[in-house]
């Protein structure tokens, strides 16, 4: 669930038929309570197999997730390390400057290469950005930084044992009033 600036949302990454039912959002403060409800109906897909197809079941899936995490952190076993040539980080998709209206979400994207896989961090004024109501960090092969309402220059840093690569992009936030009076 995401709750930012009075706006709440409940996002399902994947919904199954067992998730069907009445979803209620309740807001409470010292003056009272209000709520709203909606019905979620998820049709059963007979061809969808929810159980692991791996020979070792869930244990095998956990092992794969562990190997993926280790690969992302650059900590694969020595056998795997020798199979790839060591490479310093390189930023191959550079975040571009963004301009948004007040209240809108801005997104910076950054894609990096390097071996072992570089650790990627985002910075604001030299300070490490952590996930919060104002900042969302996501990775799906590309590193994303979503920002709500914070004008500044943002820096993306990729680092491994063989080097460091950095890039920066600025975010401009315009008020809606200024939007209407520009010539």
Whole-structure pTM value: 0.51
pLDDT above 80 for 10: no
Higher pLDDT, 61 or 146: 146
For the chain, which residues make up each domain, given as ranges? 2-40, 51-83, 85-181
pLDDT of residue 76: 54
Summarize pLDDT for 89-130 with one digit per residue, the tens: 999 999 999 888 888 889 999 999 999 889 999 999 888 999
Please enumerate in sequence order all residues whose Cβ is within 8 A of that of 113, keeping only pairs 6 or more positions apart, or say none: 87, 89, 90, 92
Alpha helices in 40-172 (DSSP H): 58-73, 78-82
Q: What pLDDT does residue 74 have? A: 63
150/158 Cα distance (integer angstroms): 23
> Which CATH code is given to the segment(s) 85-181?
2.60.40.10
In this prediction, residues 75-79 reach a mean pLDDT of 51
Each residue's pLDDT tens digit, 159-173: 999 999 999 999 988
Residue 146: φ, ψ to 5°: -100, 130
Task: Find out whether 67 and 54 touch, Cβ atoms under 8 Å.
Answer: no
Residue 129: predicted pLDDT? 93
pLDDT of residue 183: 42
SS3 of 127, please?
strand
- pLDDT (tens digit per residue) in 40-51: 777 776 655 555
Could you tell me what percent of the chain has a pLDDT over 70?
A: 73
């Amino acid at each position: 669930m995401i709750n930012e600036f009075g706006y709440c949302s409940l996002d399902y990454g994947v919904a199954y038929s067992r998730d069907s039912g009445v979803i209620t959002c309740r807001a409470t403060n010292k003056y009272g309570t209000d709520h709203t409800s909606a019905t979620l109906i998820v049709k059963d897909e007979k061809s969808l197999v929810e159980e692991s197809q791996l020979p070792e079941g869930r244990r095998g899936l956990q092992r794969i997730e562990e190997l993926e995490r280790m690969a992302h952190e650059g900590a694969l076993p020595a056998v795997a390390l020798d199979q790839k040539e060591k490479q310093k980080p390189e930023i191959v998709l550079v975040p571009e400057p963004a301009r948004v209206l007040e209240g809108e979400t801005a997104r910076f994207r950054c894609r990096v290469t390097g071996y072992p896989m570089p650790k990627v961090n985002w910075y604001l004024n030299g300070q490490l950005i952590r996930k919060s109501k104002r900042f969302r960090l996501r990775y799906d092969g590309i590193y994303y930084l979503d920002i709500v309402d914070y004008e500044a220059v943002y820096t993306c840093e990729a680092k491994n044992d063989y080097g460091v690569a950095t890039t920066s992009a600025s975010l401009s936030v315009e008020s809606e009033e200024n939007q209407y009076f520009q010539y």
